[in-house]
Amino acid sequence: MDRSLGGVANDNPAIQAFTFGDPEPVLNRRELLDMVECYHNGRWYEPPISLNGLARAFRVSPHHSSAIMLKVNLAAASFIPSKLVSRQAFKAAVIDLLIFGNCYFETRTNLLGDPLRLDHSLAKYTRRGVKPGHFWFVPGYRQETEFKPGSVSQILQPDINQEIYGLPEYLSALQSALLNEDATLFRRRYYINGSHAGFILHAKGDFAEGAAEGIKEALKNAKGPGNFRNMFIHSPNGAKENGLELIRIAEVAAKDEFLGIKNTTRDDVLAAHRVPPQLLGIIPANAGGFGDPAKATDQFFELEIEPIQATMLQLNELLGLDAIAFKERQRAAA
């Protein structure tokens, strides 16, 4: 886009300025909290939050996904497989519980009606029916399938606003996780764009005929799409010294803010998951370190994994069967 910076018509050439580089949207397109209640369509209830958004946000930052998988792995390692629930089905259910706040088991029976096994049903696509004991599997539009009434057991993390679906505990830190990702993408584009945060190319003095237009076209085609717009200014009657001047903008600030944002958002995510940093392989910034990782693991197991075990044991109460059991943990020697 060409813009003239001279507003008065005279014989002197007007200063030319234009911007180049592809524009980027400034609004985040992740709309996670776009539903405010569990409305229903006459057959099943819709969840109060976008489950597809939570699924995409799972890998939004390494600390978020790593903290969840640490809990999943510790819980799965302590699980005792049974004839009804395999270790794979249990692990998949715990992943769903920690990411979506819900997990589901479908009871498969023999011809006599006795339970044969409990299959895990993906929480992202499982919906609770309006009628008690009814559940639906809805992977896409007009692809719904109703489970056999009474065959699905739901385990949830309670919500304070409704009792139909559970919600995950990390929602308070989700914006920090998204900001962590945005900072990383910003940094990548910072380097892809040429290790700078935008510049002004100021051309002063007289150029040969068509030279200014040639520079403009070259600058337009020189860089790939990035986060920033660059500007070319040509002032024909400017100072003759330093005919071409490159003025960088925002470079120092971009470097200084990156680490601060990454560290702050990391701390928010770890606080929401209540995971000691030494269990995620984070390098301490001070010489004192984080303390003994074995003791931290024992405390973490007692405070976080045992409550998860207690939540999953609700399946035994729902079925009236001993489908899930856990090994007793041996604490590290003092």
At 255, is the pLDDT very low, low, confident or very high (cuts 50, 70, 90)?
low
pLDDT (average), residues 143-161: 93
Q: C-alpha 10: how far from its chain's center?
A: 57
List, in order, residues 6 or more apart from 38 with CB less than 8 Å away.
Answer: 45, 46, 47, 48, 162, 164, 165
**Confidence at residue 22, expressed as pLDDT on a 0 to 100 scale:** 56
Does 284 have pLDDT greater than 90?
no
pLDDT band at 7 (very low <50, low <70, confident <90, very high): very low
- Give the pLDDT score at 150: 92
Supply 119's token pair. 């299959």
Closest alpha carbon to 84 in 118, 109, 54: 118
In the numeric block, which tokens belong to residue 73? 């792995």
Q: Residues of the chain with pLDDT > 70: what percent?
A: 69
Half-sphere exposure of 28 (CA within 13 A, CB side): 13
Model confidence pLDDT, tens digit, residues 199-239: 666 666 666 667 677 667 766 665 555 545 566 666 666 56
What's the average model confidence in pLDDT over 97-122? 93
Residue given tokens 């370190």 in the structure block = 289
Q: Is the pLDDT of residue 323 over 50?
A: yes
Note the pLDDT tens digit of each residue in 15-35. 555 565 555 444 444 444 444
Cα(277)–Cα(290) distance, rounded to whole angstroms? 7
**Position with higher pLDDT, 15 vs 149:** 149
- Lowest model confidence (mean pLDDT) among 101-105, 312-316, 327-331: 327-331
Is the model's pLDDT at 308 over the cut of 60?
A: yes
Residue 42 · residue 64 · CB < 8 Å: no
What pLDDT, in 10s, does the model give residues 34-74? 444 677 888 999 998 899 999 999 999 889 999 999 999 99
The pLDDT assigned to 41 comes to: 82
Backbone angles phi, psi at 257, to 5 degrees: -80, -25
Tokens of 296: 């931290």
Per-residue pLDDT band for 240 (boundaries 50, 70, 90) equals low
Residue for token pair 């584009």: 189
Per-residue pLDDT, 278: 85
Query: In this predicted structure, what is the pLDDT of residue 227?
Result: 47
Beta bridge partners of 136: 127, 146
Rg (CA), the chain: 29
CA distance 112 to 136: 24
Residue 289, pLDDT above cutoff 80: no
Judged against a pLDDT cut of 60, whether residue 140 lies above it is answered with: yes
The pLDDT assigned to 70 comes to 95
In this predicted structure, what is the pLDDT of residue 6? 46
pLDDT of residue 292: 80
pLDDT at residue 329, as a whole number: 85
Calpha distance 297→5 (Å, rounded): 65
Assess whether pLDDT exceeds 70 at residue 324.
yes
103-125 exposure pattern, b = at least 16 Cβ within 10 A, e = fewer: bbbbbeeeeeeeeebbbbbbbbb
242's CB contacts (< 8 A; 6+ apart) are 204
Which of the given ranges, 12-16, 84-88, 280-284, has the highest pLDDT on average? 84-88
pLDDT value of position 152: 95
Three state DSSP letters for the chain: CEEECCCCCCCCCCCEEEEECCCCCCCCCCCCCCCCCCCECCCEECCCCCHHHHHHHCCCCHHHHHHHHHHHHHHHHCEECCCCCCHHHHHHHHHHHHHHCEEEEEEEECCCCCEEEEEEECCCCEEEECCCCCEEECCCCCCCEECCCCCEEEEECCCCCCCCCCCCHHHHHHHHHHHHHHHHHHHHHHHHCCCCCCEEEEEECCCCCCHHHHHHHHHHHHCCCCCCCEEEEEECCCCCCCCEEEEECCHHHHHHHHHHHHHHHHHHHHHHHCCCHHHHCCCCCCCCCCCCHHHHHHHHHHHHHHHHHHHHCHHHHHHCCCCCEECCCCCCCC
* pLDDT tens per residue across span 65-91: 999 999 999 999 999 999 999 999 999
Q: What percent of the chain has pLDDT over 90?
A: 44
Give the pLDDT confidence of 177-202 residue by residue, as tens digits: 999 888 888 878 777 765 554 566 66
